[in-house]
Amino acid sequence: MAYLATIHDLPEDILLKVMDASHVHRFPHCRLYNSSTPDSPVTLAQVCRRWRQSALALPSLWSCIHVTPELSSGCDDMVDAYLSRSGYLPLTIVFICHTTAFKEHPGWDVGWEEFESTIWPRFKRSWDHLVLQQSRWKHCAIYSLYAEASVYLIQSLDRAIFPQLEHFGVTSYSEVDEDTTDCTLKFFAPALTHFRTDIVPTLHSSSEFFQNLTELKLSKVTIEAGLLARILASVSSTLTVLVLAEVLVVRPHTITLTPMTIRRLRYIALCMVHGVDPAGSPVVQISITSFVPLLCQGSPELRTFHLSCDGEFLMNLCNSSTKSTFKQVERLEYATTHRERSAWVLLTRFTSLRELYLLQPIDISFVLDQITRESYSMASWRHLHTLAIQGEAKGSTLLKLLQARARIGCPIRKLVLGQETLSRLTPSVRDSIQGFGVEVMPYPGQPVPPDSSGLTILAWDTDRDRPAFVPWNNTYLWDFEDQFKNNIG
């Protein structure tokens, strides 16, 4: 019987491959501070002399740089070490500028004056060193607690040239005054395809800044309707993903109600989008909800629609849409606090659904009963094969639905259920579900906070056999977890 060689006896080339593969598959855990995280590049370099030699010979282990609140006063030296060890490889930068107190207890953080005199200098030095490597930037995500820090970070990029930058996202947890601060993005990034922001002044950047974008995500911003229309016009030939989350549209009545063609758009997420007048008071939603059908009708490639809304938005969207409005949509991710019949009426406008995701806080029982009733009348979704339920559903209700779908010859093939529902299914119900030939899967991740936004994506990139890296997904104010968790946010 032949025994496998111990790791100490592995040839150098095999050891390098093992280290590189392990790092690639676990890299969202990497941290740029001294920790006991076993898959950290720092730890790999500290195991023994041979491991250190091997780790230092792999530039890819050092090309993902996280600047976090846990950094010591010598963090700029650590950044320099990463920059040197990563050779000339493209860089992924995640810059989280706040204190450990804010991370552990939001709202307990120090004021800007104290932060500026004690902690900010180490962040500033690290950032300045990173900016000098602008030719290597590929992904950059900024999370800043203080408006003053956000302004500095953005303005430091003026006239910079980022030939490789593809992803850029910036989040400020303190509002940046657009009337007194110039935070337009004035750098040149011809390869930029993904942009995420919650800082309004950044949206006043030139149309050339947006012209190659494929993904645009706006979160928690108040934006003039005219500016939003101009941005959409500038990305009309390239955009594939549009996310508007907790967005207030000022003067929505000024939106021109004419079809807008975005030929490549395949995903739209609308999460709590509202209209306000210039004084900040709510206005009638009709202008916004009338604009949505026009946008959908001008997007022939649209396949996935995420909608999280309140009752007013929902009812107005019902009134401004028809059964032809969303005819090309095959996957709907649906969440609403509204518990009246209009919540169901809007669902029936999506006539070509193949996948339906019912997200909290929607009334699960009501919707499932309606699907069952409509199935018996043979009026509902001939091609629906996947049903995902984030909240709790009764086993008896699920069985009735599966039976109704099977009876009309349009069976459900896949059920995605939350852990609470799965744990309460009795053995007899499980056996009955299996009898319908249904594949049952657990709903990925934990319940999503109601105010979150973004894409529901798989955590794994099967084409590259590695985590699907999206720098800004599921990164909350105080908790920097894995960047690739399944989320709507």
Give the amino acid at 93.
I
For residue 463, with 0-12 CB atoms within 10 Å meaning exposed, 13-18 middle and 19 or more buried, which class applies? exposed
Residue 298: both structure tokens together = 């001008």
Contact 126, 97 (CB under 8 A): no
Residue 82: both structure tokens together = 């990463």
- Contacts of 97 by beta carbon, 8 Å cutoff, 6+ apart: 67, 69, 123, 142, 143, 144, 145, 146, 149, 153
- Contacts of 384 by beta carbon, 8 Å cutoff, 6+ apart: 353, 354, 355, 356, 405, 410, 412
Say how far apart CA 80 and CA 67 lie, in whole Å.
12
Exposure string (b/e) for 408-431, b if CB count within 10 Å is 16 or more? Answer: eebbbeebbbbeebeeebeeeeee
Contact 338, 314 (CB under 8 A): yes
Kind of pairing, strands 215-219 and 222-224?
unpaired
Give the DSSP letter string of 197-215.
E--GGGGGS-HHHHTT-SE
- Contacts of 448 by beta carbon, 8 Å cutoff, 6+ apart: 359, 360, 390, 487, 488, 489
Say how far apart CA 346 and CA 348 lie, in whole Å.
5
Phi-psi region of 381 (alpha: psi -120 to 50; beta: other; left: phi over 0): left
CA angle 125, 128, 132 (to 5 degrees): 140
> Per this entry, what is the length of the chain?
489
What pLDDT sits at residue 21? 67
The set of long-range contacts for 200-203, using a CB threshold of 8 Å and a minimum separation of 24, is 200/176, 201/176, 202/154, 202/170, 203/227, 203/231
Give the amino acid at 169.
G
CA angle 390, 379, 312 (to 5 degrees): 55
Contact 86, 133 (CB under 8 A): no
Say how far apart CA 123 and CA 72 lie, in whole Å.
10
What pLDDT sits at residue 484? 27
Kind of pairing, strands 460-461 and 466-467?
antiparallel
Closest CA to 62 of 35, 90, 37, 34: 90
CA angle 320, 324, 330 (to 5 degrees): 110
The CB density around residue 387, as the number of other CB atoms within 10 Å, is 25
Closest CA to 403 of 430, 376, 443, 364: 376
What pLDDT sits at residue 454? 32
Give the amino acid at 177.
D
Say how far apart CA 157 and CA 93 lie, in whole Å.
14
Say how far apart CA 60 and CA 21 lie, in whole Å.
10
What pLDDT sits at residue 473? 38
Gap between the terminal Cα atoms of the chain: 52
Query: What are phi and psi for residue 136, nearest 5 degrees?
Result: -105, -10
Intervals of the chain under pLDDT 50: 1-2, 4, 24-41, 284, 446-489
Say how far apart CA 305 and CA 455 lie, in whole Å.
10
Q: Please indicate, yes or no, whether the overall pTM of this predicted structure exceeds 0.85.
A: no
The CB density around residue 174, as the number of other CB atoms within 10 Å, is 12
Say how far apart CA 103 and CA 168 lie, in whole Å.
22
What pLDDT sits at residue 245? 84
Say how far apart CA 78 and CA 16 lie, in whole Å.
23
Query: What are phi and psi for residue 309, nearest 5 degrees?
Result: -150, 170
What pLDDT sits at residue 278? 58
Longest dimension (CA), the chain: 80
